[in-house]
Amino acid sequence: MPSIVAVGDLMLGDTAAAPGFGFASRLGARRLAEVFHDVAPLLDGADVVFGNLEVILSLEGYVPDRLASRHMRGWPRFALELKDLGFTVLNVANNHANQHGTGAFLETCRLVESAGIGVCGIRGTAPWCSKPLVLHAGGERVGFLGYCLHPRRYFPDQTPPFAEGSLGEIVSDISRFRPQVDSLCVSLHWGEEFVPQASEDEAAWGEAMVAAGATVVLGHHPHVVRRADLRSGRLVALSLGNFASDLVWDDLMSEGVVLRCGVERGTVTHVELHRTRVNGRYQIRIDPRESRGLLPLPPLPKEEYHRQARRLDGVMRRRRLLHLTRSLVRADWRLLRQWVTGVVKGRLRGA
């Protein structure tokens, strides 16, 4: 019976509001094991360890003194270090996947696979929307599919190298793949950022995927923890939050969940949920408190969901600016000037 551990977003590069003091910059030559030290026992001993790799691990096109070039870019050595930490499969389908070009994305996939980690979320060839991945673990065949459901932000006119999909395409992939494996995990990059409750539409999508044959549905991207439901031996985790990142200016965004479950022939036999928190030095700590994000919060109607998203986007912008102001002493002033210029231009375009 395979045991599966899944974590939230692995944002191993600098985010936009941490010019020169983000995750990759601060880590420098230090190994990931140093910031993962406290949570390493949660990953230990599992047959499958899954994460959402929301960063590029490539130096293709890298210009150190350009803020845009450093944004969401981790060090290539992180691939081997993730393997040493126990990761066996990473999803690469997300809204930052193509940020630094197709070449950097493909190099990231090669590095991860060369390290001995399976990659899901690569664009499939017909009839597949997402290229299927099979891992042999715990005496079973465990399948993985990954999708990004967000509009293309970078190179929107190009066919992306990662998997996108409508509900119909995803359900078709699941139905086609399920007879080939014993259990099936589906990773989804979806949902509005910062909203702790899913929409009714997203909840319905999760139910449709389970009905089509998914054993476990793993949600990412909102950067906050959302509910996880186990029903009739199928698990839908709407968002696992942030596992590793420099988004530490808000308590909800510092939270993540490590999900541990057992699967047997397409049925989830048990589930454990461990709450984590990233501190100001980007170290990941086990948080013993009960997670607010795992309370049975009901899905929101569409209009209320988007109203909450707009409100929280404004709240997070203000908190991010306050965090940056307090962190000026750590900032790289060359990069900070570029950040301020970008903000001003954005405001002018909006006006």
- H helices within 273-301, ranges in order? none
| HSE-up (13 A, CA, CB side) for residue 235 | 29
DSSP per position, 216-266: EEEEESSSSB--EEEETTEEEES-BBEEE-S--SSHHHHEEEEEEEEEETT
Rounded CA-CA distance 132/139 in Å is 19
Domain 3-350 annotated CATH 3.60.21.10: yes
The confidence score (pLDDT) of residue 293 equals 44
Instruction: Confirm if 174 and 212 have CB atoms less than 8 A apart.
Output: yes
> What amino acid occupies position 260?
R
Q: What is the dihedral of CA 226, 294, 172, 165, to 10 degrees?
A: 10
Closest among 171, 138, 90, 174 to 265, alpha carbons compared: 138
Q: Tell me the pLDDT tens digit for each residue of 259-305.
A: 999 999 999 999 999 999 999 999 999 987 755 445 567 899 999 99
Q: Tell me the pLDDT tens digit for each residue of 203-227.
A: 999 999 999 999 999 999 999 999 9
Instruction: Confirm if 161 and 155 have CB atoms less than 8 A apart.
Output: no
Closest among 168, 160, 222, 158 to 195, alpha carbons compared: 222
Tokens of 67: 């803020």
Tokens of 130: 């997402």
CA distances from 248 to 69, 112, 135, 191 (A): 22, 27, 34, 20
The confidence score (pLDDT) of residue 351 equals 57
Residue with tokens 């029903």: 231
Domain ranges of the chain: 3-350
CA distances from 204 to 4, 236, 238, 299, 301 (A): 24, 11, 11, 10, 12
Rounded CA-CA distance 70/107 in Å is 16
| HSE-up (13 A, CA, CB side) for residue 298 | 4
Q: Tens digit of pLDDT per residue, the chain (351 long)?
A: 899 999 999 999 999 889 999 999 999 889 999 999 999 999 999 999 999 999 999 999 999 999 999 999 999 999 999 999 999 999 999 999 999 999 999 999 999 999 999 999 999 999 999 999 999 999 999 999 999 999 888 988 889 999 999 999 999 999 999 999 999 999 999 999 999 999 999 999 999 999 999 999 999 999 999 999 998 999 999 999 999 999 999 999 999 999 999 999 999 999 999 999 999 999 999 987 755 445 567 899 999 999 999 999 999 999 999 999 999 899 998 998 998 888 777 776 765
Residues contacting 186, CB < 8 A, separation 6+: 144, 145, 146, 147, 170, 174, 209, 214, 216, 217, 218
pTM here is 0.95
Q: Tell me the pLDDT tens digit for each residue of 324-351.
A: 999 989 999 899 899 888 877 777 676 5
291 membership: H or E segment, kind and range: none
Phi, psi of 224 (to 5 degrees): -135, 160
Closest among 142, 209, 143 to 175, alpha carbons compared: 209
